[in-house]
Amino acid sequence: MEIYSKNGDCNKAKSGVYLERQDPSGKKRFKAPLPPITELPSSTLPSNRRLTKWNSTPVIHQDFSEFTFPLARKLPDLRKLDQKTFLRSTEHILATFYGLVFIIEGGEWHSLKSDYLPIYFVRISVKNVKYPFRILVIDNESDNHIRVVDFIVNSKTKTSIKEDAVCWQDQEKFGAKFSNRTLAFQFYDTISRMASTIKKANELESQHLDKMVDLEIHLPNSDVRTYKFYKTDTLKGALKMVCTKEKLRVNEYYFHHMQRTDDSLDMALRIGDLRTDKIRLISKR
């Protein structure tokens, strides 16, 4: 909902995120394009070059209690990775994969390291954040645990898979090679569902905005407010919201027609069924 006053102030209401779960065997199965390579090149970054920072600086973060990691040929030493140093207070790990991580530049895949690195799927727990999902890769040999990959998943994130290799991209391109095809598909499917979730949330928000209407409400003190409501909202819900905003007691007020004085409005009536865009808030006293 949005509320507008005569001076033009606007407070936007918040909407939740709708999670769309896709069945890989369903009819709407997405067929991704092939990665931009046919074989993984063996080239790596120079051995004397430390992992470089890409998107974010390290911060001291809150601890978390769960640690999930699929099987891999070679797992990193967990003692070297203190999760307190890279998780922010609003971040929570959804899943952890281990794979060989690559930076894709042009048609070449450059490995960050010859060992398997932890790849974290992280959800931001802030309410109504626009982009709640991130893909993190941490330099576990650095004292500061630098985020060498801090990828924000959005509705336009593209993902492709070829055998045991997956690449994902938006403005930057990254890739990962896993110990088997099953893990590669799980990784690919998770990114695809994250992007689909964000896209679905954006679509629902647009649909709701299209179904909102303005309702001008004349208050007992002669002030006038214009509120935005969904067409499916009832007058009962609108009364509660208006009284809360205006710091009034709900049980002491009711809605009334602007012109007619014989009866009050039915509180069960939906906003979309009103034949007017102006109503009056009346005190029962």
What is the count of structural domains for the chain? 2
pLDDT at 85: 64
Whether residues 100 and 186 share a domain: the answer is yes
Name the domain boundary from 208, 229, 264.
208
Whether residues 175 and 189 share a domain: the answer is yes
| Domain-located, residue 30 | no
CB 224 within 8 A of CB 208: no
For residue 99, which of 115, 81, 87 has the smallest C-alpha distance?
Answer: 115
More confident residue, 86 or 187: 187
18 has a pLDDT exceeding 50:
no
| Domain-located, residue 23 | no
pLDDT at 153: 92
Whether residues 102 and 132 share a domain: the answer is yes
Whether residues 191 and 279 share a domain: the answer is no
Provide the CATH number for the domain around residue 226: 3.10.20.90
The pLDDT tens digits of the residues spanning 146-164 come to: 788 889 998 889 999 998 9
Provide the CATH number for the domain around residue 97: 2.30.29.30
Whether residues 156 and 224 share a domain: the answer is no
Name the domain boundary from 208, 238, 271.
208
Whether residues 155 and 233 share a domain: the answer is no
pLDDT at 37: 33
pLDDT at 261: 60
Q: For residue 134, what are the β-bridge partners? A: 122, 152
Whether residues 226 and 204 share a domain: the answer is no
178 has a pLDDT exceeding 90:
yes
185 has a pLDDT exceeding 90:
yes
For residue 127, what are the domain limits? 91-208
More confident residue, 145 or 20: 145
CB 60 within 8 A of CB 154: no
Average pLDDT, the chain: 71
CA distance 241 to 251: 12
Whether residues 253 and 233 share a domain: the answer is yes
